[in-house]
Structure 1
């Protein structure tokens, strides 16, 4: 089944590339290329094993792949890459890079934590947080310059908040239609799909049908529904089923972000999750996922522990509830129950720049230092900073590995916050798990970060080393390609990447950032899009 899935998945991309490759190969003949990379072991992104090939760049495209000497290929500059591995630039389908890409500081817009790992394309607007004004955001990136290519989801949670606010309410027919129109506009403006975050308020107040109706709109434009599911713990199987139901109800391909099973009592249930997904695939449903290679997750403290009813109306109203004695006691009971579950007070640690003295300390340790119960410590922390982030050591290594080995699971960092995954996801996946632990072939690991992602999300002419594709390329030393970020020191850049090209421009040269801002804002432009306000 896995082999069939991969072949079907790649067929469209390979056929689409063939015509372009011929034309670009003809254009390269007799011309002096801008850059020639010789002697590298080339992984083309399809999942095939490597071959020693030369790769030539003309402008922002790959113009030649083959034997440069035999074909008398000339170039203005040559990189001798013997001993290095060459692959398509990695595509990260789930990030929170908005703070980098939207920064006024050009050094931050370079998005170096990702670039230094070989990532050349990121998706933002994840977890349902993206707003509906896609054109404004993409235009700002084009105008200001960014270090990576970047695409945007329109967020279900963002659209819901625009129309309904942060309250626990259900939309009227007129409000649902307004939400549909906002998604329709966003897709026309270039969104790659609809992202969901049913784990988070206020999106968590939505019923399945609401999401399905919005997914129908995105489906009209060949979009994908990407989701942080309603549950990744005890309710994970119900959440998987809800995701599948949204897909079948709307006709949209579904993509499960940071697929996992959280909580010690759920360890091992990855096998059940995989069976559910593959049963759906056998029935013809398009289902994929992404993961990061760590046993700890990260999100906000309130999303991790606070009951959703306490968040109704947003942080301001949540803080007001904490001042009401009766409501506070009810909240404390909920917190105590969650913190007692499988030692969560010890497994959840803080990661917040505003309170550096608390970073890396567990809720249990903080409560002991303060001489209060863990639930009282949580209340105090939230009162001081409602946006406090935490890291939860909630997964098993066996489940993490089992998910990454699936041919329909791609690599996605969920990076952007104070977690080593921001700086290390791709280097850790390739260096530690593929090359050192050998839990999967390197060719598969690279495919899961390149061609698989490009094909799933219809990212045209990227994700493959083919003539005619954009020259997004990473060159790394397999003996040194490793992550260096840890939970104690989470901002250490990865090592072993020698060169990174973004749209033909050298952004990393001999391991150092060149200052280039060569990224592009990517706009999804499907063929045969419907007329405004109409479905296919």
Structure 2
């Protein structure tokens, strides 16, 4: 969708002060002589505030970048420059996506992508980047670039284990020296002092997968010292190495030994070897919660994951040293039996060649075809190696069951996330699909639970101040959607179709979506976490 980008300065007007000061000092609006001047009132919608309170029909008043009131207000108390009729629609806090790869768009050369339109049109007003351990440690520089460019959504940032480790060890499978570990600690500490949410890892992905648990714990301790959290694409969501259960145990160990909250990214039971294990994983996590560990998770509502083709099929030992080393091993006759045996097993875990769909990448001749179709009746491992010699493509991997997806979704500690990635419909339709499929059609969760898992619960988990709720004095991040129309349009065949049904989105009080149309206003801000007092140099 071609849109023009504009940026608006924050308005520090008399109207804003008039609206907020009475509230701050406990004075009702009735005590003010003149009606409070607002920029906007959203009228008559069904309001979900982001907590567990039942919905109410009422109004939301906004002045500048803040919410002034929520509920039923006497008309004479307020005057507004504009009123939006939200009767029959849902009014909620803007959704917060705790696990995205939106940095690909936010830092793209094409300025049109900075608006994060696929997110805005679902009602997402805050995106978290640096996920899966891929984010850089230059938090201040990233934040400044977001300010300079302008972004459609707010952005919170993790420091990524991947670049931190690669900066010391490259892509090699070896342990750091004490000096290298100290350098990694220092880099994580600087990132935390610059406002990172915490440490993110992607222990499934080489070279992060080469790190022992003890190494990760040492860096998690640094994040803990600054008041941050630990977020992880766990080492194994299937049975590639230590298994799903072993990987959950590893996260729990990291939380206990580093003494910080831990978060499991895009929780799932991936592949035929672990289908049905969701119940065991849920019981394990909830037992630890009862013991006092703060452990949470997020989830996307799709049965297909998305990753690099090499990560899905090539064993970890074969990617030691990076792509060039992998290609040499493809030509090493002494390794062929072991390589092909391991790749065949990984393909089995993924559900076979029919369950691998090439979804994005430089070789467009493969896009939209399954590995089985590419193999054309021949050996799928031969076909896989041939594809990988040309390029490493993104795939959609159909590897989960509906029952496991539903089981995780029902838990009160599981939040909504997109894990947005190129070639997968989750980037364009996760929140809308979760509502349409699992609230409306299947009734797996309630509308209130959907909103809570996408707003206030996420803000609380990530430590986002005055976000995630419709409350007086909070930042005016708001979504209004039509409950009869809100749905995803994106599919695996057409993954870039925008969602429908969102009529209004405000980001920091600015209209990002108005009447169902993207306005082009880039009102998003970097949301930097304040480090624990005394943990950083003065």
Q: Distance in 1 between matches of 2:75 and 2:515?
A: 27
Partners of 1:47 and 1:446 within 8 A in 2 = no
From the superposition, tell whether residues 55 and 314 of structure 1 become closer, same or farther in structure 2 (CA, over 3 Å): same
Partners of 1:295 and 1:397 within 8 A in 2 = yes
Matches within 5 A, 1:371-390: 372-386=378-392, 388-390=393-395
The match for 1:4 is: none
From the superposition, tell whether residues 341 and 524 of structure 1 become closer, same or farther in structure 2 (CA, over 3 Å): closer
> How many Å apart are 1:71 and its aligned residue?
5.5
The match for 2:17 is: none
The match for 1:433 is: 438
Shifted more, 215-224 versus 461-470: the winner is 215-224
The match for 1:23 is: 24
The match for 1:156 is: 161
From the superposition, tell whether residues 71 and 447 of structure 1 become closer, same or farther in structure 2 (CA, over 3 Å): farther
Partners of 1:261 and 1:269 within 8 A in 2 = yes
Which SS does the other structure have where 1:227 is aligned?
Answer: strand
Partners of 2:96 and 2:127 within 8 A in 1 = yes
Partners of 2:350 and 2:399 within 8 A in 1 = no
Partners of 1:415 and 1:421 within 8 A in 2 = yes
Partners of 1:261 and 1:399 within 8 A in 2 = yes
Q: Distance in 1 between matches of 2:147 and 2:462?
A: 21
> How many Å apart are 1:365 and its aligned residue?
1.8
**Alignment gaps of 5+ in structure 2:** 1-19
Which SS does the other structure have where 1:63 is aligned?
Answer: strand
Alignment match of 1:125 (pick from 127, 130, 138): 130
Q: Does 2:335 match 1:327?
A: yes
> How many Å apart are 1:397 and its aligned residue?
0.2
Q: Distance in 1 between matches of 2:380 and 2:274?
A: 23
Q: Distance in 1 between matches of 2:375 and 2:97?
A: 37
From the superposition, tell whether residues 354 and 308 of structure 1 become closer, same or farther in structure 2 (CA, over 3 Å): same
TM-score (normalizing by structure 1): 0.93
Matches within 5 A, 1:17-96: 22-23=23-24, 26=27, 30-70=35-75, 72-96=77-101
Deviations along 1:173-228, one digit per CA (max 9) or x if unpaired, are 11111100000000000100100110000010000011111001101122110000
The match for 2:170 is: 165
> How many Å apart are 1:328 and its aligned residue?
4.0
Partners of 2:95 and 2:468 within 8 A in 1 = yes
The match for 2:363 is: 355
Q: Distance in 2 between matches of 1:506 and 1:341?
A: 46
Q: Distance in 2 between matches of 1:113 and 1:252?
A: 33
Partners of 1:24 and 1:467 within 8 A in 2 = no
The match for 1:407 is: 412
Partners of 1:127 and 1:197 within 8 A in 2 = yes
Shifted more, 353-362 versus 96-105: the winner is 353-362
Shifted more, 137-146 versus 332-341: the winner is 332-341
Shifted more, 311-320 versus 454-463: the winner is 311-320
The match for 2:312 is: 304
Matches within 5 A, 1:6-17: none
Which SS does the other structure have where 1:498 is aligned?
Answer: strand
From the superposition, tell whether residues 92 and 142 of structure 1 become closer, same or farther in structure 2 (CA, over 3 Å): same
Deviations along 1:308-334, one digit per CA (max 9) or x if unpaired, are 111111112212222333234432232
> How many Å apart are 1:114 and its aligned residue?
0.7
The match for 1:258 is: 266
Q: Distance in 2 between matches of 1:21 and 1:338?
A: 62
The match for 2:294 is: 286
> How many Å apart are 1:85 and its aligned residue?
0.6
From the superposition, tell whether residues 341 and 446 of structure 1 become closer, same or farther in structure 2 (CA, over 3 Å): closer
Partners of 1:25 and 1:64 within 8 A in 2 = no
Partners of 1:20 and 1:468 within 8 A in 2 = no
Q: How many residues align?
A: 512
Runs of 4 or more above 6 Å deviation: none
Q: Distance in 2 between matches of 1:433 and 1:297?
A: 18
RMSD: 1.8
TM-score (normalizing by structure 2): 0.92
The match for 2:511 is: 506
Which SS does the other structure have where 2:454 is aligned?
Answer: coil
Alignment match of 2:180 (pick from 175, 180, 197): 175
From the superposition, tell whether residues 51 and 281 of structure 1 become closer, same or farther in structure 2 (CA, over 3 Å): same
Partners of 2:193 and 2:531 within 8 A in 1 = no
Partners of 2:350 and 2:398 within 8 A in 1 = no
> How many Å apart are 1:352 and its aligned residue?
2.0
Partners of 2:272 and 2:349 within 8 A in 1 = no
Q: Does 2:107 match 1:102?
A: yes
